[in-house]
Amino acid sequence: MPSNSSGHIVILGTGGTIAGTAAAAADNVGYQAGQLGVAQLVAAVPALAAHALEARQLAQVDSKDMSHALWQQLAAAVAEELAREDVQAVVVTHGTDTLEETAWFLHRVLAATKPVVLTAAMRPASALMPDGPQNLLDAVTVAATPGTRGVLCVLAGRVLGPEDVRKVHGYRVDAFAADEAGPVALVQEGQVRALRAWPQADPGEAAALQVAMQRPVAQWPRVDIVTSHAGCDGALVPALVALGSRGLVAEGTGNGTLHAALEVALRVAQAQGVAVWRASRCWAGGVVGQPEGALPSAGVLTPAKARVELMLQLMLRA
């Protein structure tokens, strides 16, 4: 996929709060996601008229209900648009709840050299002060800026990378952060201020994953998350294995530490051929180091992203 140059920016709508509406403008929580079409979102931002845009409605979902089938459809749609010579970038409007998972998935399966910019909103479009219009304008600004590349998330003036982005607040408009790495760039008064290198993925693995993910989603390897906590007995592990889990991500405490009972159950599953990774339930820091004999680490990935990554790794082994 060549780097971005002059051309159209395609906006793919998938629903989310950014397209949500409530009965009252003062209601920022009692809304229905995915009520407005992406063309309506674009029309509501007059400044976007300065750009050559195409809007395409791909889905209308609350991102808490994001599915593997929609990921498969979205990845194919983005790849199709990026392959067009007259398209310089793709923007995806998305819900906030699973945005970080979709960003990591697209980063790994596309290895895009043109910009693929995900944006969202914490307030519905019907709010007294919606954040969606500014986020959409900022996303298009990033997509249109020469030199930008890869999968990026643009929210509240920050450009966040797919590895680092995470939702850290359930209500505020500045709900996203980027671990200790910080933003990749900032959007300031219509200008993009780059702070570090744009994200890059392995194109060879991406090509192999694009082939692997063509199989029906019912054949994608099942990967589940189990949480370590006080009083944990590990009983969920054999139940998930019985349901067909081929991989388990343990959401550990602190630096990926696990309740002794959970670790015993996970090691039994591992001996049965189930892939097991440790992640941390702390929002920052990930898992540092690999003590001798410890279960494999997911590194800096959050448990949710680690689940996606382990699923992709298992796809490559199939």
The enclosing domain of 283 has a CATH number of 3.40.50.40
Catalytic residue among 14, 17, 96, 98: 17
Pair (257, 130) in one structural domain: no
pLDDT, greater one: 135 or 5: 135
Pair (178, 280) in one structural domain: no
Token code pair at residue 85? 């010579």
Residue 206 forms part of a structural domain: no
Pair (187, 62) in one structural domain: yes
What is the domain-level CATH number for residue 55? 3.40.50.1170
17 is catalytic: yes
Residue 44 forms part of a structural domain: yes
Distance separating alpha carbons of residues 228 and 231, to the nearest angstrom: 9
Each residue of 238-252: pLDDT tens digit? 999 999 999 999 999
Give me the chain's average pLDDT, please. 96
Pair (149, 269) in one structural domain: no
Entry pTM:
0.96
Pair (187, 308) in one structural domain: no
**What amino acid is encoded at 159 in this protein?**
V
Distance separating alpha carbons of residues 111 and 104, to the nearest angstrom: 11
Of 33, 172, 6, 177, give the one whose Cα is nearest residue 93: 33
Pair (174, 90) in one structural domain: yes
Pair (140, 29) in one structural domain: yes
How large is the average pLDDT for residues 201-225? Answer: 95
Residue 1 forms part of a structural domain: no
Residue 207 forms part of a structural domain: no
pLDDT band, residue 6 (cuts 50/70/90):
low
The two beta strands, 166-167 and 158-160, are: unpaired
Q: Which helix (H) or strand (E) holds 152?
A: strand 150-155
Which residue segment(s) compose the domain that 170 sits in? 8-194
Sign of CA dihedral 71, 169, 190, 193: negative
Domain count of the fold of the chain: 2
In the predicted structure, residue 57 carries a pLDDT above the cut 80: yes
Residue 201 forms part of a structural domain: no
Pair (174, 254) in one structural domain: no
pLDDT band, residue 318 (cuts 50/70/90):
confident
Pair (233, 184) in one structural domain: no
Residue 2 forms part of a structural domain: no
pLDDT band, residue 200 (cuts 50/70/90):
very high
* pLDDT score, position 4: 43
Residue 237 forms part of a structural domain: yes
Pair (115, 232) in one structural domain: no
Pair (17, 143) in one structural domain: yes
Distance separating alpha carbons of residues 76 and 63, to the nearest angstrom: 18
HSE-CB at 30 with a 13 A cutoff on CA atoms is 5
Residue 202 forms part of a structural domain: no
